[in-house]
Structure 1
């Protein structure tokens, strides 16, 4: 197409991504090359623009998944637990606060290592244990029990969002928020709000509500006057990073940059890459989100440039999924920048090497795989079909 029109290939890519519109003097030649009328071409350009802006507005991992991109069966046991409001039995009350704390930590660890199947298998029992603990706890232990319940539901919401189940992500995030408020834990409440926003972002037409949740949570933390410990720093930093990705997705590059800078300042106060409240917040995570923000803004070149400078070895060892996520974002950037499927597949293969389920179960990676498969013509991309088969996308 670029050769036919006498323009740069990148120009056509920007038209396809709805970053720019063809000038009037190009439209007649485009219509002729595609064998359509000018009216049909206008309709096509409108459809591309709507689809692209819908994807950008949703932010990280939140483009509407293509058919077959989600793995909802992973959450069958979790959904069964969530719909059992009057369980026939509860876990044995002999479990102590320490037992449940360890169980909740184990689920978060499995999630952060991108062991999604294992985390999904553990979650119903852990949620049941935490629920039972709140029923039996009294006095000072009651707040601790509700903190653990909030943390367990946060893990459930993260997993649901990762595999593309927006409804379950929102439901579990809301339950996490309720438990955190009962515990009167400001930092956990903020982390739960983060997850509420992630659930809303994945639902059609709810991006503005998601951004309102994030912004209001940031403002409440800033105005609270509470002593700023590492948990509150991490919670506020995580919210700022999500806000930056949202701003980038709706085309506000300057605002996204300001939010990233503010988060960078908090990361400097924290002093190192930490994992307080399982946020993974720290200096490296700020750079990772700078890559994500550039991808959501459609600035693939900037994303790839930042990616070359990123050193994920500084992250806490448990954040395996976070390391793999970088390659998923860079795969999207590579495809966006030049349409080079081979480079995109190489990044996905690296993500799979680091954490296989980051590609096999993550809705963002699976959607990207389907997009790559759809772009194949006569010549296959080395490694693509085998990777898609391992992800269960090809029979």
Structure 2
């Protein structure tokens, strides 16, 4: 009963904050509703503390009424933490950054941007060439830019950038002068769309994006594009618990593309290496230790000849990325101690790609959680937030936080419950 009362009090407090901000702006409820695209009754309910659990709505309200995010519980202030002798130095360097990042968390893609992306993926007649065609070089630069947005976890901007890029590429593909190159760029853009949708937990539409990516990869005929599309296809399969099919798909494709690594260009090796690492993820999720080790060994072999470990790289593959996947695989296999032992040296190593850096700390949190070390898991999540704030807001991490908070029945880690509320997940 006490916990329910706390929730009601928090909801009423949020309602008061919204009402006071509206009055400061000298706006009526009808004016605010029109700016938000809601009915006036919804604004009234919000001000009465109803519906405030929807963090996406709160973010929209914060933007319209110029309310600081932390006043609506959408960002947490820096939280002091207890010393951890194993990683104390790392926490000391990163925890201040975590607190700063949480006070300025940019939103994930808006509902409108999400719908625009889904609409861009829907079947449509091939567009006719237009007079003002965009050059292939410019299109390539735009595709590289959206890949960089994904690597830096700027999912809000990525959601806005993808639909017009897909439209431009489809227009350009109707011109046969550079069809193969443009089709390859279109396949890469569909791959990125699928990856973003998976981050957002929208598996249904990720399937549609993967279908587009695979079709364009086959049209293109470039083995690099094919390997990248297969990687994303395997990701969706594994997410939907079709791990055996994902492992088979990666294994079959790798057999056709592997070998002669010393004579392959970096772009080829990076695409192949990332696909093999997806096999690591699928096999470890399935609990197949033998296949996990086989894929890891193959990835290590490829990584001897290539290291593209930058947010602006076409594909982020390197020996460090292989080690990061080994940590993740150990967690998936339930080997928390092994995972943390492998993670410790990586925690001290510069990892220039924010998405990969955040993944390391999320995997550390998963391992700590498996060991029942909830306070350490919470601290790891705050470090992950400092690396990539939007990535910590994705459904998979929110589920982890919810699970950790639910297991802390005695509230021995109050900061964890505070963090859970600010992520909008049940504590």
TM-score band by shorter chain is 0.7 to 0.9
Deviations 1:309-340 (A, max 9, x none): 1157554x3x2111111111110000002x12
Matched with 2:140 is: 101
Tell whether 2:362 aligns with 1:325.
no
Tell whether 2:159 aligns with 1:120.
yes
Tell whether 2:410 aligns with 1:378.
yes
Matched with 1:196 is: 233
* Bigger shift: residues 80-89 or 250-259: 80-89
Once residues 98 and 367 of structure 1 are traced to their aligned partners in structure 2, the CA distance between those partners, rounded to angstroms, is 41
Distance 1:88-1:229 versus aligned 2 partners, 3 A rule? closer
Deviations 1:119-154 (A, max 9, x none): 111111111111111012x23x11111111111111
Deviation at 1:374, TM superposition (A): 1.6
Once residues 195 and 220 of structure 2 are traced to their aligned partners in structure 1, the CA distance between those partners, rounded to angstroms, is 20
Deviations 1:322-361 (A, max 9, x none): 1111111110000002x1211111111111111101111x
Match of 1:249 among 285, 291, 302: 285
Cα RMSD (Å) of the superposition?
Answer: 2.8
Matched with 1:334 is: 368
Deviation at 1:303, TM superposition (A): 0.5
Tell whether 2:378 aligns with 1:345.
yes
Deviations 1:2-46 (A, max 9, x none): xxxxxxxxxxxxxxxxxxxxxxxxxxxxxxxxxxxxxxxxxxxxx
CA contact (8 A) 1:231 1:276 kept: no
Once residues 173 and 147 of structure 1 are traced to their aligned partners in structure 2, the CA distance between those partners, rounded to angstroms, is 14
Distance 1:236-1:94 versus aligned 2 partners, 3 A rule? closer
Q: Secondary structure at the match of 2:340?
A: helix
Matched with 2:29 is: none
Matched with 1:359 is: 392
Q: Secondary structure at the match of 1:310?
A: helix
Matched with 2:6 is: none
1:153-172 pair list within 5 angstroms: 153-172=190-209
Tell whether 2:327 aligns with 1:294.
no
Q: Secondary structure at the match of 2:258?
A: helix
Once residues 334 and 106 of structure 1 are traced to their aligned partners in structure 2, the CA distance between those partners, rounded to angstroms, is 35
1:174-189 pair list within 5 angstroms: 174-189=211-226
Deviation at 1:285, TM superposition (A): 0.1
Once residues 240 and 256 of structure 1 are traced to their aligned partners in structure 2, the CA distance between those partners, rounded to angstroms, is 10
Q: Secondary structure at the match of 1:353?
A: helix
Q: How many residues align?
A: 319
CA contact (8 A) 1:240 1:263 kept: yes
Distance 1:88-1:284 versus aligned 2 partners, 3 A rule? closer
* Bigger shift: residues 211-220 or 285-294: 211-220
Runs of 4+ in 1 over 6 A off after TM superposition: 87-92, 223-226
CA contact (8 A) 1:273 1:281 kept: yes
1:39-188 pair list within 5 angstroms: 73=111, 75-83=114-122, 85-86=124-125, 93-136=132-175, 138-139=176-177, 141-188=178-225
CA contact (8 A) 2:129 2:172 kept: no
Once residues 422 and 131 of structure 2 are traced to their aligned partners in structure 1, the CA distance between those partners, rounded to angstroms, is 39
Once residues 117 and 247 of structure 1 are traced to their aligned partners in structure 2, the CA distance between those partners, rounded to angstroms, is 31
Deviation at 1:170, TM superposition (A): 2.1
Matched with 2:315 is: 279
Once residues 302 and 188 of structure 2 are traced to their aligned partners in structure 1, the CA distance between those partners, rounded to angstroms, is 23
CA contact (8 A) 2:231 2:250 kept: yes
Deviation at 1:207, TM superposition (A): 2.1
**TM-score relative to the length of structure 2:** 0.68
**TM-score relative to the length of structure 1:** 0.74
Matched with 1:4 is: none
Matched with 1:17 is: none
Once residues 87 and 373 of structure 1 are traced to their aligned partners in structure 2, the CA distance between those partners, rounded to angstroms, is 50
Q: Secondary structure at the match of 1:196?
A: helix
Matched with 1:20 is: none
Q: Secondary structure at the match of 1:85?
A: coil
Tell whether 2:208 aligns with 1:208.
no
* Bigger shift: residues 165-174 or 247-256: 247-256
Distance 1:203-1:248 versus aligned 2 partners, 3 A rule? closer
Deviation at 1:203, TM superposition (A): 1.9
Once residues 338 and 262 of structure 2 are traced to their aligned partners in structure 1, the CA distance between those partners, rounded to angstroms, is 37
* Bigger shift: residues 380-389 or 181-190: 380-389
Deviation at 1:378, TM superposition (A): 2.9
